[in-house]
Amino acid sequence: MNPIERPRRLRRDGLRKLVSENQLTASDLIAPVFVDATTDERVGIETMPGHERVPIEESVARVEEVLETGVEAVMLFGIPESKDERGSRAWAEDGVVQEATRRIASETNATVITDVCLCEYTEHGHCGVLENEAADDPRLTVKNDETLDLLRKIAVSHAEAGAEMVAPSGMMDGMVGAIREALDDADYADVPIMSYAAKYESAFYGPFRDAADGAPAFGNRRHYQMDPANSREAMREVELDVEQGADVLMVKPALPYLDIVRDIREEFDQPVAAYNVSGEYAMLHAASEKGWLDLQETALESLLSIKRAGADLILTYFAEDIADELA
């Protein structure tokens, strides 16, 4: 009789660690930070326990907290003091993200990445200029090319403020090329673009939309974000972004789309990022509050699975808690 194969031999504590195929480190993680120009004190975000919107004055202190855990990069989101039709506070020199970026970049060693989008800045909450405003108009759509002109301005204003990388999240066609050109023309050829290349129209963004006050006032984002049913389309989106000069390719959300992370990893050489979104964070918190799941363990397992699928970078609201654990 043949001896039985014994993979269990390598599973005892010390050996198990030696043979582990994937490791999570604090340097893989990016912590999202919300800066809010409408408040002068920190406000907790109910749907995302442990996270807050902080006033501009507190942005450096907030980022220092992140750095203390060992996480070195932050992704900034802004809540402007006012919103309008076209989201003009998104590219203002004294806008919330620009102010916070300037401070953080000059006073800390953090790597500052900025979200380039309009939904937090438009009164209607859509990621661009609207074609038609009637809430019940089935033709409601965001005008692609007009929106590109605004995205160029936002990206350049972030670079001017000191952003080390910009991350367009609006899913407009041609956005990476437009931003690349604008950055190059403004002498920011060295500022890379992390494109939200495959961003799905996902119900897992719910808590974020509360946090950043960016829910569409009417309609939905189906006509610009991707259909969760599609994977070949994701490859096409990524290919287009690569052609236009994307430096890092992001998939969002992460856990329900690990197949997409893997597909991109296999097809492309660029670094792959995955965004472990607000809903993925909120559901583990909710279950652990009920005593049904262990928060740290499930968070760690989730992030490890994202790495295993092929992500090099992970944006996650768990960044600080997990980094503490890894240290």
Distance CA 59, CA 103 (A): 8
In Å, how far are 83, 196, 271 from 247, measured between CA atoms?
31, 11, 7
Question: Contact between 282 and ligand PBG (CB under 6 A)?
Answer: no
Cβ-count burial of 135 within 10 angstroms (0-12 exposed, 13-18 middle, 19+ buried)? Answer: exposed
| 278 annotated ligand binder | yes
Per CB under 6 A, the list member of 110, 117, 148, 197 interacting with ligand PBG is: 117
Element (H, E) at 158: helix 144-161
Q: 3-class DSSP state for residue 41? A: coil
Binding span for ligand PBG by CB under 6 A among 6-14, 115-123, 286-294, 301-309: 115-123
Site for ligand PBG in 218-247 (CB under 6 A): none
Catalytic residue among 17, 199, 290, 307: 199
Q: Whose Cβ is closer to ligand PBG: residue 95's or residue 214's? A: 214
Question: Contact between 278 and ligand PBG (CB under 6 A)?
Answer: yes
In Å, how far are 37, 56, 174, 179, 280 from 41, measured between CA atoms?
10, 9, 38, 34, 27
Question: Contact between 36 and ligand PBG (CB under 6 A)?
Answer: no
Six token digits for residue 140: 């409601």
Residues in a beta bridge with 44? 52
Q: Whose Cβ is closer to ligand PBG: residue 11's or residue 147's? A: 147
Q: Nearest residue by C-beta to ligand PBG?
A: 208
Per CB under 6 A, the list member of 34, 91, 200, 205 interacting with ligand PBG is: 205
Catalytic, 252? Answer yes
Are the CB atoms for 148 and 127 separated by under 8 Å?
A: no
**Phi first, then psi: what are they for 114, rounded to 5°?**
-120, 140
Per CB under 6 A, the list member of 69, 98, 169, 302 interacting with ligand PBG is: 169
Catalytic, 307? Answer no
Distance CA 270, CA 90 (A): 28
| 305 annotated ligand binder | no
- Residues serving a catalytic function are 199, 252
Residues making contact with ligand PBG (CB under 6 A):
115, 117, 119, 169, 205, 208-209, 214, 277-278
Binding residues for Zn(2+): 117, 119, 127
Binding residues: 117, 119, 127, 209, 221, 237, 278, 317
